[in-house]
Amino acid sequence: MRDRPVVVLHDGSAPSAEMMAPVTELTAVRYTDEAGLAEALSGAEVLFAYHFLSDALAEAWHGADSLRWLHVAAAGVDSFMTPQVRDSDVVVTNSRGVFDDAIAEYVLGQVLSFAKDLPGSWRRQQQHIWEHRESERVAGTRALVVGTGPIGRSIARLLRAAGLQVRGSGRRAREGDPDFGVVRAQEDLPGELAAADWVVLAAPLTDATRGMIDSAALTAMRPSARLINVGRGELVRTEDLVTALREGTIAGAALDVLETEPLPAGHPLWDLPTALITPHSSGDFIGWRGALVDLFAQNLARWQAGQPLHNVVDKTRGYVPGS
């Protein structure tokens, strides 16, 4: 396969030779940024989308004359699900499993941050104010995790370990789930939102989930509830959320993903005291980039051996079935 190198799409900063060693031990590599993608794809069977947020493939598709496999270095693949990819025979895989535990830790951290008002304590420290306050308990509170894939399951397990009562919201309802206990179908979401103290979004972006948290959904939530989004920014209608936070419709929101990234400097979310903003980094533990390369290398070895690939995405759904 060395005469048909893997194309690695990067964002202008290619992964280091040391990081790429698990791949280069198996085959030659052709590095490219978005500007050179069409040319780099010519004759290549495999594209490793290390630049996982790129939307350049649609314009470069004419160069994909031999492409058979696209691997995305992320759990979400929506930016690569172009009509050309969906209608082609190209197999798409994602990086499911790399970020699950790290994102779950982030969610628990934000739950505790809200309950213990750690941002408020930091603000008082900066002002040299000693003010005794009481905080909330998280044990016994109710969390709704929207999205029952591997990331949602890791979140559910960790929140349960902290004493929270957890339910899930997914495509289909079921009882006796090992991680969620009860899973309700998406059409039952309004009622589930009304009962939750914490609403955690970990769903993939699909036609059914885009904009699912709008003014109606936010109004259905409890005034004391907090929203935590680690799924996709487009799951939430940002203008509706800003209004809900300003008016106290909900008590707070922790947002690791947003409709527009980076969040513009003058956006009102920056200055809302009940909004906690992080730069799409909830899963980015020390060493995460190397872990992504290692996962791709393991799948590449399977590809070369003619074995079935792991993490194959259903292109009609936009995610790995069963996740």
Active-site positions read 232, 261, 280
Give the residues across from 181 on adjacent strands: 177
Residue 30: burial class (beta carbons within 10 Å; 0-12, 13-18, 19+): buried
DSSP string spanning 258-270? -SSSSPPTT-GGG
Six-digit token pair at 262?
């980076």
H or E element, residue 218: helix 215-220
What counts of helices (H) and strands (E) characterise the chain? Answer: 11, 13
φ, ψ at 59 (rounded to 5°): -75, -25
Closest-CA residue to 210 (of 238, 242, 179): 238
Residues 6+ away with beta carbon under 8 Å from 87: none
Enumerate residues 6+ apart whose C-beta is below 8 A from 240: 213, 214, 215, 218
